[in-house]
Chains A and B, each alone.
Chain A
Amino acid sequence: MDLLWQTAVNATYAASYMALIAVWLVMIFGVMGVINFAHGELYMVGAYCVVFLYAQENFPFLLAVAAGLIFVGLVGLVMERTLFRPLRDNPLGGLIASIGFLLILQTLAVFGFGRRMGHVPPWTQDKFEVFGAILTYQRLFVIAAAIVLLAALWAFLKRSKFGRALRACAQDAEAASLQGISMNQTARIAMFIGAALAGVAGALTAPLVSPTPYIGHSIIVTAFIIIIVGGVGSLEGAVIAAVLYAFVHTFVTTFFDGVVANIVGLALMLAVLVVRPTGLFGAKERA
């Protein structure tokens, strides 16, 4: 029973950071029509903000996380202005530009921090038991932060003017423009929030992983599986798919092994594509 609870706790943590990363990748695709391959590297940059500010310069952890959120958000703005806006009518160009940008970010990380994994000391080693499972405060903090941020995002999208503009652009950019919604401003907001969320996910989890300049690769692969399962363009789908994928992957890893878990994760994606090609919550037609 303890093993089941521990696995559930592990899966909840995994679902939290996966959802944070995947959910706004969906929105960026919806609003800008760009598949941002550099999204995993934005996670990496967030992690390195913590490596630099917290591990090397001894700033408080929360300050380093906040700095990561803002800095990576600004990187997102630079990407939007210099890469995606000029290539707005050229989706393949945007995709290739994002691949180029990810290589630039990787190289900058190597120059700045070396090729070795970054070392981030834990900000706390405290832990507690829940139904026999051990949960550290570091992991609890990631779970709580993900819930708060995703709830804030939901409120932003559903209740605010900017949120409605974003959803409108994601559903039909041309119609949204005809209604007076500025595509440039909407894309800026989408890119800032998306990048900031990826950055904060990297910053929050930096003490729990081994940050390397190449960590974004495995992150982006997982994020794309989640998006495909959830349905391209669906924020709710991304969150639910993140939970589903995290639980399936974690349970299979624990009760079989990690290699089988990857196969099952990909099989899940294939099964969804066969049964429901648009994903669990995807619409048939999307901009």
Chain B
Amino acid sequence: MSRKSLDRKISRRKFLGTSAASGAALAAMSTGLSRVSFADSHTIKIGFLAPLTGPVAAWGKPGLDGCLIWADWVNSKGGVDIGGQSYNIEFIGYDNEYDAAKARTGATKLIKEDGVKFVMMLGGDTWPGVQEIAAREGMLFSTLLPSDLTPDSTTLLAPCEVHPIYNVTGVEWLAENKPDLKTAAMCAQDDALGKPSVATYLAAFEAAGIEMVDAPLFFDPATTDFAPVMTRLLAANPDILCLDTCYADYVHPLCEQAFQQGYQGQIISCTADFYQNIIEKTSEEFMEGFIFQFPDFDDPALNSEGVNFVNPNEFYAEYAKRYGASAWSAVSWEYASIMDLWADAASSAGSAEPAAVLEAMKADGTGKHAFGTADWWGTELFGIDNALVGNWPVVVIEGGKATIKEFRSIPAWWDQHKDLMIKHMTDLGQMWNQRG
């Protein structure tokens, strides 16, 4: 098509008209607003700014679904008591599609238009879009990814998931229970979730005396065919295949490829969302012993003393009833557990204002983490003590079912091996003072 003919066929009015219409349509599509309940005068609004669509949606949407259960339970009991007044909780969802620019738009909308008192995020690549607004507005934010934390992000908390640091517990358990496994190969998507997790696994493997047979293999997040990735990983015949913090869209085909290319060794991964589907694509035998970090909440081990998540088994049953058991993902409970912390802090402060809640939350340097009392920690790794770190479960697939094998202490590992973690984080440019 020549330029001349193109110019001839498109009038200025047509071009502007179609451009405006397309722009409006795209804007409407990308906004993706989701108001999930209705407010009244005694309602506090909480922002949910996470990917609800796209490849990372598995770590956003199931969390919002969990929050709806949390809100229904809390509101049905009269709401949250703040300063002698009961308040219902309303979640305002905004789909940032794991895009920093959309996250910025969403944060502005949630704060300025909706008047939310707290914003929960997945974080990662979306946090840089929001950081300036958070600082300017003094809004309290939470992230699931403490690698977002910096000394400047004083109103950002990582109160639940200490990704990727908890991955050390899986490697530590593996080394203790399967000491004959001595070599590993690892792959990860090349993004803000993959890289700090790679550094963590490298530190954990080194601490455990497990040797990497090859440098970590990074792949483009747009990858759809994982056969070449798996061929490379298996080329050096590792004892352990580490899938880092790959998204579910990658973990499934990677496992399938490992199965198809004849791998019979140990697999360790941060997550194994919808693992029943992986078993269906491979086999129960192939997935036996698969280690990851996120339990199903029907696990009886969660009823043990010290676990702070309220009624975990009932929560799982309600989640399965509403959305189906196969919809359960790593984050289904996490945002709800953050709300437990927020509600306790707001009640304690007698105010829902962000500064008051933040102060109450960190008042004595500890907090009721879902898996037990934990410390506000992080200065050495993140430049600020805004990550709530304590125990984390090691989960193993046994007989086709995720089973908690043990709760292990992250701070205990850190005390012994922090130099290794800092070294590998630094090598990959993931320390707080290296991130752009």
Chain A interfacial positions (CB closer than 8 Å to B): 3, 6-7, 10-11, 13-14, 33, 89-93, 96, 99-100, 103, 107, 110, 115-117, 119, 121-122, 125, 127, 134, 136, 139, 208-210, 212-215, 217-219, 221, 249-250, 253-255, 257-259, 261-262, 286-287
Tell me, rounded to whole Å, the shortest Cβ–Cβ distance linking B397 to chain A: 17
Query: Does B306 count as interface, using CB distance less than 8 angstroms?
Result: no
Query: Does B223 count as interface, using CB distance less than 8 angstroms?
Result: yes
- The reply to whether A212 and B22 form a contact with Cβ atoms under 8 Å apart is no
Which of B190, B281, B327 has most chain A Cβ within 10 Å?
Answer: B281
CA distance A286 to B327 in the complex (A): 50
CA distance A47 to B281 in the complex (A): 16
* Beyond A115-B53, A287-B1, 15 additional pairs, beta carbon < 8 A: A10-B231, A90-B10, A117-B248, A139-B227, A210-B224, A210-B250, A210-B252, A210-B253, A218-B222, A218-B224, A250-B227, A250-B228, A253-B219, A253-B228, A253-B229
CA distance A208 to B224 in the complex (A): 9
Q: Pick from A107, A119, A134, A218: contact of B29, CB below 8 A.
A: A107
Query: Which chain B residue has the least Cβ–Cβ distance from A29?
Result: B1
Query: Does B407 count as interface, using CB distance less than 8 angstroms?
Result: no
Query: Which chain A residue has the least Cβ–Cβ distance from B15?
Result: A92
Q: Which of B1-57 contact A (CB under 8 A)?
A: 1, 6, 9-10, 14-15, 18-19, 22, 25-26, 29, 52-55, 57
Q: Pick from A13, A92, A257: contact of B227, CB below 8 A.
A: A13
Query: Does B249 count as interface, using CB distance less than 8 angstroms?
Result: yes
- The reply to whether B253 and A209 form a contact with Cβ atoms under 8 Å apart is yes
Q: Pick from A89, A90, A115, A119: contact of B277, CB below 8 A.
A: A119
Tell me, rounded to whole Å, the shortest Cβ–Cβ distance linking B52 to chain A: 7
Tell me, rounded to whole Å, the shortest Cβ–Cβ distance linking A40 to chain B: 11
Query: Does B220 count as interface, using CB distance less than 8 angstroms?
Result: yes
Query: Does B260 count as interface, using CB distance less than 8 angstroms?
Result: yes
CA distance A92 to B15 in the complex (A): 8
CA distance A2 to B14 in the complex (A): 58
Tell me, rounded to whole Å, the shortest Cβ–Cβ distance linking B61 to chain A: 6
Query: Which chain A residue has the least Cβ–Cβ distance from B10?
Result: A92
Q: Pick from B10, B14, B228, B252: contact of A254, CB below 8 A.
A: B228
CA distance A100 to B25 in the complex (A): 8
Top 8 nearest A-B pairs (CB, nearest first) are: A258-B219, A218-B222, A253-B228, A10-B227, A210-B249, A119-B277, A115-B57, A254-B232
Tell me, rounded to whole Å, the shortest Cβ–Cβ distance linking B416 to chain A: 31
Query: Does B58 count as interface, using CB distance less than 8 angstroms?
Result: yes
Query: Does B413 count as interface, using CB distance less than 8 angstroms?
Result: no
Complex contacts, A134 vs chain B, CB 8 Å: 260-262
Query: Which chain B residue has the least Cβ–Cβ distance from A258?
Result: B219
Query: Does B218 count as interface, using CB distance less than 8 angstroms?
Result: yes
Complex contacts, B219 vs chain A, CB 8 Å: 253, 257-259
CA distance A115 to B280 in the complex (A): 20
Name B's interface SS.
helix
Complex contacts, A116 vs chain B, CB 8 Å: 57-58, 61, 248, 274, 327
A-B contact pairs, 6 of them (CB 8 A): A10-B228, A90-B9, A91-B1, A92-B18, A217-B222, A258-B220
Which of A121, A122, A249, A257 has most chain B Cβ within 10 Å?
Answer: A257
Q: Pick from A89, A96, A136: contact of B19, CB below 8 A.
A: A96
- The reply to whether A93 and B229 form a contact with Cβ atoms under 8 Å apart is no
Contact with A along B233-255 (1 / 0, CB 8 A): 00100000000000011101100
- The reply to whether B225 and A255 form a contact with Cβ atoms under 8 Å apart is no
CA distance A3 to B261 in the complex (A): 11
CA distance A125 to B258 in the complex (A): 12
- The reply to whether A117 and B252 form a contact with Cβ atoms under 8 Å apart is yes
Q: Pick from A91, A96, A103, A219: contact of B6, CB below 8 A.
A: A91
Q: In the complex where A91-B6, A103-B26 touch, is A253 in contact with B232 (Cβ < 8 A)?
A: yes
Complex contacts, A33 vs chain B, CB 8 Å: 1
- The reply to whether A215 and B18 form a contact with Cβ atoms under 8 Å apart is no
- The reply to whether A258 and B229 form a contact with Cβ atoms under 8 Å apart is yes
CA distance A167 to B27 in the complex (A): 39
CA distance A125 to B231 in the complex (A): 18
- The reply to whether A110 and B53 form a contact with Cβ atoms under 8 Å apart is yes
CA distance A234 to B308 in the complex (A): 64
Tell me, rounded to whole Å, the shortest Cβ–Cβ distance linking B280 to chain A: 5
Complex contacts, A99 vs chain B, CB 8 Å: 22, 26
Query: Does B217 count as interface, using CB distance less than 8 angstroms?
Result: yes
- The reply to whether A258 and B231 form a contact with Cβ atoms under 8 Å apart is no
- The reply to whether A93 and B260 form a contact with Cβ atoms under 8 Å apart is no
Complex contacts, A3 vs chain B, CB 8 Å: 231, 235
Query: Which chain B residue has the least Cβ–Cβ distance from A286?
Result: B1
Tell me, rounded to whole Å, the shortest Cβ–Cβ distance linking A26 to chain B: 13
CA distance A81 to B108 in the complex (A): 42
- The reply to whether B22 and A100 form a contact with Cβ atoms under 8 Å apart is yes
Q: Which of B256-287 contact A (CB under 8 A)?
A: 256, 259-262, 274, 277, 280-281, 283
- The reply to whether B260 and A136 form a contact with Cβ atoms under 8 Å apart is yes
Tell me, rounded to whole Å, the shortest Cβ–Cβ distance linking A187 to chain B: 15
Q: Pick from B15, B261, B281: contact of A122, CB below 8 A.
A: B281
Q: Pick from B1, B55, B217: contact of A212, CB below 8 A.
A: B55
- The reply to whether A121 and B19 form a contact with Cβ atoms under 8 Å apart is no
- The reply to whether A121 and B280 form a contact with Cβ atoms under 8 Å apart is yes
